[in-house]
């Protein structure tokens, strides 16, 4: 129960008027960016990051994580009222959420979405509270080979488990790794791929790339598709909230199943999107009345929302304990930690106890406050979507530019952001996923450092990655996952061949 005591200490750090005010501001801003088309979780956090540069790390991370919660809640509003998923993982919420809104049951659907998000993230936060310190303590014994093996596992699981085309994932990841190599080499101190250009000395900043890749490209895409925003209005009364909550215990199996799926897939990198679909599909499969799904069934909102938020939150577990983000937004939070000079990973739990437990406590508080806030202010935020796009688009462009410039005070970064905007737009058009690209960009140099330190330590012998049971099994697992798209069908064929002669003999 050491974790419990530390958690209480975390709450004590948090419960000051200043921190609570920061929390409210973060939540409101977060819901705002979650509702606006063209912004969303990862974007919102990236653009608002500069606001936190002058704060102390604890207030800053509280603000950032609350922006994240807010954006998650906000995404549900657009999915249900406007049939526009704010993020890839709210796609499954539109299946039943939007039909409910069409039937005039929008308040019910919204309450269900917010409540299940709350339950999902609570389950994941509980998991983080009790599991993260243990994992961090275990990881303290890791040397460079172990760390490289874990990074390799992260990269490979994107290829093996992602839903996108395998070759496109690999293209995207390789480009990210290549760009991560630009600038000063941290091991030998020599310059790489700068082509004599001073601006490239610093390397390509991960956050600048994210703002361009997600923010600017989304504006280009929204403009191209000429989104006509036609949504339903909704305001939530206390009666509706209580009615939905009274029915809640009836769906406990769905909620529990979705939370478990979400937690599991959230820790696995690249799993957040899969979680919401899997939650939805399993709820459908186990339901007695399958045909009513997709026509406005409240269970169809509960299942994907719980899973999506559980996975979105659980993605922070590997980020905190190992320094490996499980999702795009977790990667940006990691980028934020590095801006403040904090090095995410197992040492964080030892060296910055206050900070870590403050963050975990803020997850609990932010979640509760966010639920109340979002239930009471839905009409206000739904009205934001009625503002013409021609007014919102330039404001988003300006916010992106401010975000990109503020990170390193460099005009060059604004141009870089524009370039990445075009790259992101083309990638989205031809179906290359952006998440592996951002992950490679943020983890590339760390993975490279770990690899080279391991090589130096072992005198260039690759067998160091199989030198003990732990590192050996992680490396092997990583390689299996990387080649899984090839191995899977092969195993199937082998099994069939093996079964065939036996079957024929029996006949």
Partner 1 sequence: MRTGRTHIFLTQDQLRRVLQVFVPTLLFCLLTQWLGLYVASFLLIVGFMRLIGRIALWKSLLTAFLFAVIMFVTFDIAFDVIMPKGPLEAAFGY
Burial category of 264 from C-beta neighbours within 10 Å (exposed 0-12, middle 13-18, buried 19 and up): middle
**Count of beta carbons in the 10 Å neighbourhood of residue 428:** 17
Q: 3-state SS of 416-443? A: HHHHHHHHHHHHHHCCCCCHHHHHHHHH
Binding of partner 1 by 24 (CB under 8 A)? no
Residues numbered 391 to 410 that lie near partner 1 (CB under 8 A) are 391, 393-395, 397-398, 401-402, 405-406, 409
Question: Are the C-beta atoms of 121 and 309 separated by less than 8 Å?
Answer: yes
**Count of beta carbons in the 10 Å neighbourhood of residue 502:** 9
Distance (Å, rounded) from C-alpha 359 to C-alpha 128? 11
Binding of partner 1 by 335 (CB under 8 A)? no
Rank residues 53 and 130 by Cβ distance to partner 1 and give the closer one. 53
Binding of partner 1 by 56 (CB under 8 A)? no
Binding of partner 1 by 147 (CB under 8 A)? no
Q: What is the DSSP track for 362-429?
A: HHHHHHHHHHHHHHHHHHHHHHHTTS-HHHHHHHHHHHHHHHHHHHHT-HHHHHHHHHHHHHHHHHHH
- Among the candidate windows 45-53, 129-137, 269-277, 438-446, which touches partner 1 by CB under 8 A? 45-53
C-beta of 415: minimal distance to partner 1 in Å?
6
Binding of partner 1 by 167 (CB under 8 A)? no
Residues numbered 203 to 222 that lie near partner 1 (CB under 8 A) are 216, 219-220
C-beta of 147: minimal distance to partner 1 in Å?
34
C-beta of 17: minimal distance to partner 1 in Å?
17
Distance (Å, rounded) from C-alpha 366 to C-alpha 411? 35
Q: Which two tokens stand for residue 177?
A: 């790794």
Binding of partner 1 by 53 (CB under 8 A)? yes
C-beta of 162: minimal distance to partner 1 in Å?
19
Binding of partner 1 by 415 (CB under 8 A)? yes
C-beta of 45: minimal distance to partner 1 in Å?
16
Task: Please give the radius of gyration of the chain, using alpha carbons only, rounded to the nearest integer.
Answer: 23
Distance (Å, rounded) from C-alpha 188 to C-alpha 477? 31
Among 126, 422, 477, 479, binds partner 1 (CB under 8 A): 422
Rank residues 239 and 388 by Cβ distance to partner 1 and give the closer one. 388
**Contacts of residue 375, Cβ cutoff 8 Å, sequence gap at least 6:** 111, 114, 236, 241
If binding means CB under 8 A, how many residues of this protein chain bind partner 1?
A: 34
Residues numbered 424 to 463 that lie near partner 1 (CB under 8 A) are 425, 429-431
**Count of beta carbons in the 10 Å neighbourhood of residue 449:** 17
Among 165, 224, 247, 351, binds partner 1 (CB under 8 A): 224
The residues binding partner 1 (CB under 8 A) are 50-51, 53-54, 216, 219-220, 223-224, 226, 388-391, 393-395, 397-398, 401-402, 405-406, 409, 411, 414-415, 418, 421-422, 425, 429-431
């Amino acid at each position: 129960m050491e974790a419990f005591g530390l958690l209480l200490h975390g709450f004590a750090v948090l419960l000051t008027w200043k921190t609570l005010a920061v929390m409210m501001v973060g939540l409101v801003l977060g819901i705002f960016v979650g509702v606006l088309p063209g912004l969303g979780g990862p974007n919102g956090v990236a653009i608002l990051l500069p606001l936190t540069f002058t704060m102390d790390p604890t207030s800053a991370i509280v603000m950032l994580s609350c922006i994240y919660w807010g954006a998650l809640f906000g995404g549900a509003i657009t999915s249900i009222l406007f049939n526009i998923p704010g993020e890839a993982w709210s796609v499954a919420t539109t299946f039943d959420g939007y039909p409910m809104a069409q039937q005039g049951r929008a308040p019910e659907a919204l309450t269900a979405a917010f409540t299940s998000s709350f339950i999902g993230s609570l389950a994941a936060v509980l998991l983080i509270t009790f599991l993260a310190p243990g994992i961090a303590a275990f990881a303290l014994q890791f040397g460079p080979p172990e760390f490289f093996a874990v990074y390799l596992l992260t990269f490979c699981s994107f290829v093996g488990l992602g839903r996108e085309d395998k070759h496109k994932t690999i293209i995207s990841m390789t480009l990210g790794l290549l760009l991560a190599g630009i600038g000063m080499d941290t091991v030998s101190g020599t310059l790489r791929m700068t082509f004599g250009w001073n601006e490239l000395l610093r390397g390509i900043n991960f956050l600048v790339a994210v703002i361009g890749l997600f923010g600017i490209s989304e504006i280009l895409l929204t403009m191209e598709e000429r989104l006509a925003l036609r949504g339903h209005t909704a305001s939530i009364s206390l009666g509706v909230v209580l009615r939905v909550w009274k029915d809640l215990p009836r769906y406990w199996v769905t909620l529990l199943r979705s939370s478990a799926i979400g937690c599991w897939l959230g820790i696995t990198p690249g799993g957040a999107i899969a979680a919401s679909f899997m939650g939805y599909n399993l709820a459908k499969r186990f339901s007695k009345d399958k045909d009513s799904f997709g026509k406005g069934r409240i269970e169809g909102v509960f299942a994907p929302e719980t899973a999506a938020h559980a996975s979105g939150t659980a993605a922070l577990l590997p980020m905190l304990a190992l320094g490996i983000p499980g999702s795009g937004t977790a990667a940006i939070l990691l980028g934020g930690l590095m801006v403040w000079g904090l090095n995410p990973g197992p040492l964080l739990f030892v060296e910055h106890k206050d900070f870590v437990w403050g963050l975990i406590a803020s997850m609990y508080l932010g979640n509760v406050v966010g639920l109340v806030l979002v239930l009471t202010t839905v009409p206000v935020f739904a009205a934001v979507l009625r503002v013409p796009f021609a007014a919102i688009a330039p404001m988003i462009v300006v916010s992106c530019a401010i975000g990109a410039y503020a990170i390193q005070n460099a005009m060059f970064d604004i141009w870089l952001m524009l370039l990445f905007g075009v790259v992101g737009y083309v990638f989205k058009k031809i179906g290359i996923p952006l998440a592996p690209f951002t992950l490679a960009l943020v983890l590339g140099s760390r993975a490279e450092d770990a690899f080279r330190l391991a090589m130096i330590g072992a005198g260039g012998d690759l067998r160091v990655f199989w030198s003990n049971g732990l590192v050996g099994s992680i490396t092997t697992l990583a390689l299996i996952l990387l080649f899984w798209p090839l191995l899977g069908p092969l195993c199937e064929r082998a099994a069939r061949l093996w079964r065939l002669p036996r079957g024929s003999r029996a006949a």
